[in-house]
């Protein structure tokens, strides 16, 4: 059974929507207060680490991730066995934090550097040369991005095509084929196909923001977790459609994180005017609402405070009614109840593409309208 062929209007619509999503994201990034920018950096740091670990095949909940990072539990539940060796998680996280500590986006670089000594996860079992492998992958990803051809087009699609082509040609990042495995004694040996190890595209996605920033596509050099999809590497119509859909999804997810940072920043301004604050309490709030739950020993590191000072900050947040705590194996993980915008008040950001990009978009939409008119399809522009 074959799938229906992809029509030109499907690709045109997907690329138009992706361009608009990227434009809205770029516009939103240009109007970020400094506190909201730091909160966004914390959330993106967490998303980048979690996405990388999950791409490697590690299965866990966000709560377990924070408990693991705090040194309280293993990352994976022992009752969920895996059928292949996974890259050691602590080595991966430390390597990623080292790389992100050199990011062009200053708030992200600062948070990654600060978090490194607060990684209390127990040492990986049988990690071997896990640290070296993770660092080598990140270095290889930097080389790939540096060597990538950067077209002058104001739209991102040629650049995305070049990026996915480079991934497909790479010996480090191209998806592997399924490998046959023989089971049982020789007289009745059974051969099965084993799923290949996932491509470590996280090493590229974590550093992709600098490329998008230097080519003028994004105001800030944001990591782009989840942007590269293994099924979008082909240079045919199917690959082109999948790349557009992936870009639209990634830009929309990032824009949602931007939108969520604004009410949290307003929440912090309210706390600053409250009756009880300490000089470092705003920094702690930004960490807890941005990156997520931490135990007191980690808080001492990331805010540079004594145990008594941390206790004072936590009491201030508790008195303000925003502090949350969860007890795991006898230790507390502290967080912040995130303020959510009222229903129906989501921020809508105008597109911030250049005039050339908008002209290309208008031309593609005109072609799309003409095609659909010939097909007898009535298009509602509000849904495009």
Could you list the beta-strand ranges (E) of 73-222: 179-183, 190-194
Check if the beta carbon of residue 113 is closer than 8 Å to that of residue 96: no
At 221-266, the pLDDT tens digits run 999 999 999 989 988 899 999 999 999 999 999 999 999 999 999 9
Average per-residue pLDDT for the chain: 84
Residue 342 has pLDDT above 90, yes or no: no
pTM over 0.85: no
At 26-47, the pLDDT tens digits run 999 998 999 999 999 999 999 9
* Spatial separation of the C-alpha atoms in residues 11 and 128, rounded to whole Å: 45
3-state secondary structure of 344: coil
Alpha helices in the chain (DSSP H): 8-29, 34-55, 62-69, 89-100, 106-115, 130-147, 157-169, 202-205, 208-214, 237-272, 281-290, 296-303, 307-319, 355-375
Whole-number Cα distances in Å, 248 to 48, 51, 100, 150, 232:
18, 17, 24, 20, 13
* Spatial separation of the C-alpha atoms in residues 74 and 149, rounded to whole Å: 42
Provide the token pair at 4: 């229906």
In the prediction, which pLDDT does 218 show? Answer: 95
* Spatial separation of the C-alpha atoms in residues 284 and 308, rounded to whole Å: 14
Q: What are phi and psi of 329, to 5 degrees?
A: 45, 45
């Amino acid at each position: 059974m074959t799938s229906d062929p992809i029509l030109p209007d499907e690709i045109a619509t997907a690329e138009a929507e992706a361009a608009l999503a990227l434009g809205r994201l770029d516009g939103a990034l240009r109007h970020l207060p400094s506190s909201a920018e730091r909160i966004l950096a914390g959330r993106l740091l967490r998303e980048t680490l979690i996405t990388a670990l999950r791409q490697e095949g590690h299965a866990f909940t966000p709560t377990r991730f924070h408990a693991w990072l705090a040194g309280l539990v293993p990352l994976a539940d022992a009752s969920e066995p895996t059928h292949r060796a996974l890259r050691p998680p602590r080595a991966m996280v430390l390597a990623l934090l080292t790389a992100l500590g050199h990011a062009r986006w200053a708030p992200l670089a600062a948070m990654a550097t600060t978090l490194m000594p607060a990684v209390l996860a127990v040492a990986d079992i049988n990690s071997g040369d896990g640290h070296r492998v993770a660092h080598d992958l990140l270095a290889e990803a930097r080389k790939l991005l540096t060597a990538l051809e950067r077209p002058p087009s104001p739209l991102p699609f040629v650049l995305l095509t070049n990026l996915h082509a480079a991934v497909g040609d790479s010996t480090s990042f191209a998806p592997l084929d399924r490998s046959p495995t023989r089971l049982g004694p020789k007289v009745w040996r059974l051969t099965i196909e084993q799923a290949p190890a996932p491509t470590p595209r996280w090493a590229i996605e974590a550093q992709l923001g600098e490329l998008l920033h230097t080519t003028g596509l994004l105001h800030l050099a944001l990591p782009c977790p989840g942007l590269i999809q293994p099924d979008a590497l082909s240079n045919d119509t199917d690959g082109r459609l999948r790349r557009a859909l992936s870009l639209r999804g990634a830009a929309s997810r990032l824009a949602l994180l931007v939108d969520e940072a604004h009410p949290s920043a307003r929440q912090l301004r309210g706390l600053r005017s409250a009756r009880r604050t300490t000089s470092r309490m705003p920094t702690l709030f930004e960490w807890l609402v941005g990156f997520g739950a931490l135990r007191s020993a980690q808080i001492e590191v990331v805010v540079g405070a004594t145990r008594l000072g941390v206790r004072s900050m936590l009491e201030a947040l508790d008195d303000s009614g925003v502090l949350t705590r969860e007890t795991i194996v006898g230790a507390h993980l502290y967080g912040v109840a995130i303020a959510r915008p009222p229903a129906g008040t989501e921020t809508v950001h105008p597109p911030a593409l250049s005039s050339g990009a908008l002209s290309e978009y208008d031309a593609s939409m005109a072609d799309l309208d003409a095609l659909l008119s010939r097909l007898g399809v009535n298009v509602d522009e509000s849904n495009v």
